[in-house]
Amino acid sequence: MSKSNQEEFINRVKMALGKPFSNERQKADLFSHEMPAETRAILERVKNRTVEDRKRLLETLTEAAEPINLKVIPVNDVGAVATAIAELVRDKDPEWGDPKSVAAWQHPLIESLNLPDALSEQGVPVVFTDLQNTDEADLRRRVIASYIGVTSADFCMADTATLVMRTRPGQARSVSLLPSIHIAVIEIDQIIADLKELYALLKWDPLKRKEGVTNCMTFISGPSKTADIEATMIDGAHGPREVYTFVIAPDDFEDDADAPPE
């Protein structure tokens, strides 16, 4: 059904453009398969970042985060993150009156926080969003009931204070969406400068391009907000009302410019 629809539709477009004939050459022009020199330079820059460069990016990120109410918190190690999250869990109350529970990604960095242990003292359960031990409906119920969601991210763009997340099994999209508080944990070398670097990495970096954009890539810049009533800006429209980003930046972290940036 849709095939013939498409043909008719595209033919109408071709007629409108006044070129009812073949267009292979034009296709090659539009979608180049060679890396432009500019992109190569961007990838080199990302790859060769020094410790100083990365610290500067963290500063840029912190500055950009402030006006959009994103809280960026640099820490030394995963232990400090776990402690900080336990404190948040203690201080914050669930928005919808459910008993306290936390949803978290199944992700090496997040698992290394050992949240179930860190929160066991308070008796707060942690739900990991993989389908190995439970079914989808149960998982969904438990994410909906969680008031804090803990994720990592693929990248964080410093210029706009934007977390970039690609979808994978175990890393549910709703963890950064349904809970009232979203906590993201990243390492300092995941910070990149801007959209240009992101797109260059996704399209041309041998490791990143293998996975590509995935079926859902999300950018998150701060808490959900709206200005729909009398143009008054208010945090907490439908998504999380508070967003925290913990950046793990070891004090003694060595210049390991040759390692891939993740």
Partner 1 sequence: MSAQVCASLRLKKKDKMTKISPENYVAEARKAIKNQVLQRALADLQNRFGRGTAESYRRLPEGPGLRLKAHDIRMQTIENLDVVLETLAANIRKNGGRVFFAKDGQAAIHYCLEVAQRHKVKRVVKGKSMVSEEIGLNDALINSGIDVFETDLGEYIIQLAGETPSHIIAPAIHKTRDDVGNLFADKLDIPYETDPPRLTWIARKALREKFVTADMGTSGCNIACAETGHITTVSNEGNIRMSTTLPRVHIAIMGMERVAARLEDHDILLRLLCRGAAAQNMATYVSYIGGPRCANQADGPEEFHLVVLDNGRSRILADEQFREMLCCIRCAACLNVCPVYGKIGGHSYGYAYSGPVGAVVTPLLVGINRAKDLCLGETLCGACQDICPVNINLPRMLLALRGKLAEGDTVWGVTPADRKEKFLFQAWSWMIRNRKWYDLALKLAATGQKLFTRKDGMIRRLPPPSHGWTKARDIRPLAAESFVRRWKKGI
Footprint (CB under 8 A) of partner 1, residues 65-124 = 68, 96
Q: Which helix (H) or strand (E) holds 248?
A: strand 242-248
Burial 170-188 (b: 16+ CB within 10 A, else e): ebbeebbbbbbbbbbbbbb
CA angle 5, 212, 215 (to 5 degrees): 55
Q: How far is the CB of 118 from partner 1 (least distance, A)?
A: 23
Bridge partners, 168 (sequence order): 171
The two three-digit tokens of residue 175, written as one number = 């963890």
- Would you say 102 and 142 are in contact if contact means Cβ atoms under 8 Å apart? no
Residue 35 contacts partner 1 per CB under 8 A? no
Place of tokens 């190569």: 40
Which window, 48-56, 117-125, 227-235, 251-259, contacts partner 1 (CB under 8 A)? Answer: 227-235
Q: In this chain, which of 56, 71, 92, 225 binds partner 1, going by CB under 8 A?
A: 225
The 9-28 site mask, x for binding partner 1 (CB under 8 A), equals xx-xxxxxxxx---x--xx-
Kindly indicate which of the ranges 71-79, 110-118, 160-168, 245-253 contains the residues binding partner 1, using the contact rule CB under 8 A.
160-168
Could you give the CA distance from residue 79 to residue 85 in angstroms, rounded to a whole number?
A: 10
Q: Which of 74, 173, 253, 257 binds partner 1 (CB under 8 A)?
A: 173
Which one-letter DSSP state was computed for residue 153?
A: -
Chosen residue from 80, 88, 111, 167 binding partner 1 by CB under 8 A: 167
**Candidate ranges 45-53, 76-84, 118-126, 164-172; the one touching partner 1 (CB under 8 A):** 164-172
- Assess 199 for contact with partner 1 (CB under 8 A): yes
Task: Verify binding: residue 214, partner 1, rule CB under 8 A.
Answer: yes
